[in-house]
Amino acid sequence: MDANKVVLYDFFDSNSAWRVRNVLYWKSIPFDTVSVNLMKGEQKSEEFGKLNPINTVPVLFIDGHYITQSVAICEYLEETRPEHPIFPTNSLDRARVRQIVEIINSYMVPLQNPATAQRASKEVSEQTAWSLEFFQKGFTALEHLISKTSGKYCVGDIVTFADMCLIGLVWRTKRFNPDPVNFPSIFRIYDELLKLPTFRLAHAASHRDCPPGLKDTLHLPIHFHDNPG
Amino acid sequence: MDANKVVLYDFFDSNSAWRVRNVLYWKSIPFDTVSVNLMKGEQKSEEFGKLNPINTVPVLFIDGHYITQSVAICEYLEETRPEHPIFPTNSLDRARVRQIVEIINSYMVPLQNPATAQRASKEVSEQTAWSLEFFQKGFTALEHLISKTSGKYCVGDIVTFADMCLIGLVWRTKRFNPDPVNFPSIFRIYDELLKLPTFRLAHAASHRDCPPGLKDTLHLPIHFHDNPG
């Protein structure tokens, strides 16, 4: 691989890969992508397993090295490409950003994701109940936290890495259609984020691999996805 | 709460709280503890839920604020108390540390922990199989990664935050008794870490709340825990 290239191993609907897309577009870092279709199980191939032995996207090839795990990648991008920062300057605000990131990355995403729900039960209804339970718990915690830290965005009035992690998870709620009345800060911020050009570029619904039926969802507030009337 | 005090909401066997203990002792930051007994469900109390709405330890009271989520806490400690660092200076090495931390914190711990296994099945044998599956997958990935990055410790020859996250997870394998032959780097590093005074102070088996039957395990290589002969 040409060491001057930046290459993202990506899937349109991976929450973790989406974070990295958000950061790459935000920082104006040009990158190529390699599509790893999680629905077809391509992440389980021997070849991909050599890049990431827990068989998850994203993997980023950058500065001549492969880096896995989305937060490790994004912290590396921030350290090596500090222009267009994704963290506030104040340490307490940075901690607030990382709290939100960690609830999403270490609680909600691993526990509610389809692979975990499918491992927990063969019944589709039980898989949905499983995912919904962790969604509700995590979203309730996030709403509580964000209601205290947010201004226009998750932490104050500047866009941070917390927003870059939140957007994908909100979009995923289209499966559950939660009542936005219970999560006013989260849904308000989602609508704000959709106005930002780099967030629209990185959005799953803008991705070349997104199925046509989902492409429209970019233009809609999330709570109308399943209930357009 | 006295704003000059540092107070850790803690449980001896919580992998996440143990990380924070490791960092506090490593950096010589004096702290008090409040015990939250996860086995008795004290984390589910209304009072504790106000501190952390996802009902997990650790919570750290510091500089007049409550911070939740172990990695957010430890990154904050590193930024505000840089003496006795927990990260290397080079960005690629820092990314290697964060990769290890994230596999532990966002894959292994949430997926194998008893609460998740108990949610997945009422059968104890199935709970064990569940936890073991994620342990094997995560440990195999970590061994692969650490075999390339380690010197004396996880990343090179200096102690880092990766070691502070690894030790608790290795101790937890006493339930499974995995063959150390398959994870030579991990078990070698565990034995090295046990030689360090602050790691011995922070160890679950040194904790005042550790049941007497487990206290001995501090002095034993992990692969002899269940099989002392």
Residue ranges of chain B with per-residue pLDDT less than 50: 224-229
Number of residue pairs across A and B with CB atoms under 8 Å?
A: 108
> What's residue A65's pLDDT?
97
The CA-atom distances, in angstroms, between B131 and each of A137, B109, B120, B124, B175 are 22, 9, 10, 11, 10
> What's residue A10's pLDDT?
97
> What's residue B212's pLDDT?
85
pLDDT tens readout for residues B35-67: 999 989 999 999 999 999 999 999 999 999 999
Nearest to B137 by CA among A69, A120, A53: A53
Question: What mean pLDDT is predicted for residues A211-220?
Answer: 75
HSE of B1, CA atoms in CB hemisphere, 13 A: 17
Range with the poorest average pLDDT among A127-136, A169-178, A195-204, B22-31 = A169-178
Q: Is residue A85 part of a domain?
A: no
Q: Return the CATH number at B67.
A: 3.40.30.10
Cβ neighbours of A141 in B, within 8 Å: 52-54
Where does a domain end: A80, A103, A128?
A: A80
Contact across the interface for A102 and B71, Cβ inside 8 Å:
yes
Q: How far is B192 from chain A (nearest CA, A)?
A: 25
Q: Is the CB of residue A101 less than 8 Å from the CB of residue A41?
A: no
Whose tokens are 């996030």? That residue is A142
Domain coverage including residue B142: 91-224
Torsion of CA A63, A11, A114, A23, to 10 degrees: 50
Query: What CA–CA distance (Å, rounded) separates B177 from B131?
Result: 13
Same domain (yes/no): B34, B103: no
Looking at the predicted structure, is the pLDDT value of residue A226 above 80? no
Cβ neighbours of A154 in B, within 8 Å: none
The share of chain B scoring above pLDDT 90, in percent, equals: 78
Q: How far is A189 from chain B (nearest CA, A)?
A: 20
Range with the poorest average pLDDT among A99-108, A158-167, B71-80, B174-183 = B174-183
Cβ neighbours of B54 in A, within 8 Å: 103, 107, 137-138, 141
Q: Is residue B86 part of a domain?
A: no
B69 φ/ψ sector (left φ>0, alpha ψ -120 to 50, else beta): left
Same domain (yes/no): A208, A97: yes
Same domain (yes/no): A75, A99: no
Q: Is residue A195 part of a domain?
A: yes
Q: Is residue A114 part of a domain?
A: yes
Where does a domain end: B44, B60, B80?
A: B80
Q: Is residue B85 part of a domain?
A: no
Q: Return the CATH number at B145.
A: 1.20.1050.10
Same domain (yes/no): A100, A204: yes
More confident residue, A208 or B152: B152
Cβ neighbours of B110 in A, within 8 Å: 106-107, 110-111
Same domain (yes/no): B75, B96: no
B156 φ/ψ sector (left φ>0, alpha ψ -120 to 50, else beta): left
Same domain (yes/no): B76, B149: no
Contact across the interface for B110 and A107, Cβ inside 8 Å:
yes
Model confidence at A222, in pLDDT bands (50, 70, 90)? low
Q: Is B67 helix (H, G, I), strand (E, B) or coil?
A: strand
Q: Is residue A86 part of a domain?
A: no
Question: What mean pLDDT is predicted for residues A89-114?
Answer: 96
Looking at the predicted structure, is the pLDDT value of residue A196 above 80? yes
Same domain (yes/no): B12, B113: no
Nearest CA in chain A to B102: A69
Q: Is the CB of residue A21 less than 8 Å from the CB of residue A8?
A: yes
Contact across the interface for B69 and A137, Cβ inside 8 Å:
no
Same domain (yes/no): B177, B216: yes
> What's residue B48's pLDDT?
94
Looking at the predicted structure, is the pLDDT value of residue A219 above 70? no
Q: Is the CB of residue B16 less than 8 Å from the CB of residue B109?
A: yes
Contact across the interface for A140 and B110, Cβ inside 8 Å:
no
Query: What CA–CA distance (Å, rounded) separates B73 from A88?
Result: 16
Query: What CA–CA distance (Å, rounded) separates B221 from B99?
Result: 25
Model confidence at A225, in pLDDT bands (50, 70, 90)? very low
On average, the pLDDT of chain A sits at 91
Contact across the interface for B95 and A105, Cβ inside 8 Å:
no
Q: How far is B191 from chain A (nearest CA, A)?
A: 25
Same domain (yes/no): B40, B142: no
Model confidence at A220, in pLDDT bands (50, 70, 90)? low
Q: Is residue B180 part of a domain?
A: yes
Domain count, chain B: 2
> What's residue B98's pLDDT?
98
Same domain (yes/no): A121, A217: yes
Same domain (yes/no): B117, B209: yes
Where does a domain end: B34, B55, B80?
A: B80
Question: What mean pLDDT is predicted for residues A74-86?
Answer: 98
Contact across the interface for A53 and B144, Cβ inside 8 Å:
yes
Nearest to B79 among A75, A80, A94 (CB): A94
Q: Is the CB of residue B12 less than 8 Å from the CB of residue B209?
A: yes
Same domain (yes/no): A215, A106: yes
Q: Is residue B2 part of a domain?
A: no
Question: What mean pLDDT is predicted for residues A81-85?
Answer: 98
